[in-house]
Structure 1
Amino acid sequence: MSFTATVLTLYPEMFPGPLGVSLAGRAHAAGTWSMNAVQIRDFATDKHRTVDDTPAGGGAGMVLKPDVLARAIDHARGLSPDAPVLAMTPRGRPISQARIRELAAGPGVTIVCGRFEGFDERIFDGREVEEVSVGDIVLSGGEPAALMVLDACIRLLPGVMGAAWSGVEESFESGLLEYPHYTRPVTWEGRTIPEVLRSGDHAKIAAWRKQRAEDDTRLRRPDLWDRHGDGRVRSASGARQED
Structure 2
Amino acid sequence: MLKFDVLTIFPQMFSGPLDESILKRAQEEELIEIELSNIRDFATDKHSQVDDYSYGGGAGMVMKPGPIFRAVESVNSKEAEVILMSPQGRVLEQDLVCELAQQQHLVLICGRYEGVDERIREELIDREISIGDYVLTGGELPAMVLIDAVSRMIPGVLGKEESAVEDSFYQGILDYPHYTRPREYQGLGVPEVLLSGDHQRIAEWRRRAALKNTLLNRPELLAEAELSAEDEEILAELKQEFLKSVEDGVE
* 1:32 aligned partner, one-letter code: L
Q: TM-score if structure 2 supplies the norm length?
A: 0.83
Q: 1:153 aligns with which of 150, 174, 188?
A: 150
Query: Percent identity, aligned pairs only?
Result: 45
Deviations 1:5-34 (A, max 9, x none): 100000122334322121211221232222
Q: CA deviation at 1:121?
A: 2.8
| Count of residue pairs brought into register by the alignment | 232
2:198 counterpart of 1:211: no
Match of 1:118 in 2: 115
Query: 8 Å contact 2:26–2:157 — kept in the other structure?
Result: yes
3-state DSSP of counterpart to 2:80:
coil
Q: CA deviation at 1:58?
A: 3.0
Pairwise CA RMSD of aligned residues?
2.3
Q: CA deviation at 1:229?
A: 6.5
Structure 1 residues 229 and 98: CA distance shift in structure 2, 3 A? closer
2:50 counterpart of 1:51: yes
Name structure 2 gaps, 5 residues minimum.
Answer: 233-251
Query: 8 Å contact 1:16–1:35 — kept in the other structure?
Result: no
Residues in 2 aligned to 1:56 and 1:218: alpha-carbon distance in whole angstroms: 49
Residues in 1 aligned to 2:3 and 2:31: alpha-carbon distance in whole angstroms: 9
* 2:83 aligned partner, one-letter code: L
Match of 1:228 in 2: 225
Match of 1:236 in 2: none
Match of 1:4 in 2: 3
More helix as a share of residues? 2
Deviations 1:159-211 (A, max 9, x none): 22221212111111110011111112122122221222223332222222112
* 1:126 aligned partner, one-letter code: E
Structure 1 residues 51 and 223: CA distance shift in structure 2, 3 A? farther
* 2:20 aligned partner, one-letter code: V
* 1:45 aligned partner, one-letter code: T
2:127 counterpart of 1:139: no
| 50-59 vs 188-197, greater mean Cα deviation | 50-59
Query: 8 Å contact 2:65–2:120 — kept in the other structure?
Result: yes
Name structure 1 gaps, 5 residues minimum.
Answer: 233-240
Bigger CA radius of gyration: 2
* 2:115 aligned partner, one-letter code: G
Residues in 1 aligned to 2:213 and 2:155: alpha-carbon distance in whole angstroms: 30
Residues in 2 aligned to 1:91 and 1:197: alpha-carbon distance in whole angstroms: 44
Match of 1:64 in 2: 63
* 2:42 aligned partner, one-letter code: F
3-state DSSP of counterpart to 1:42:
helix
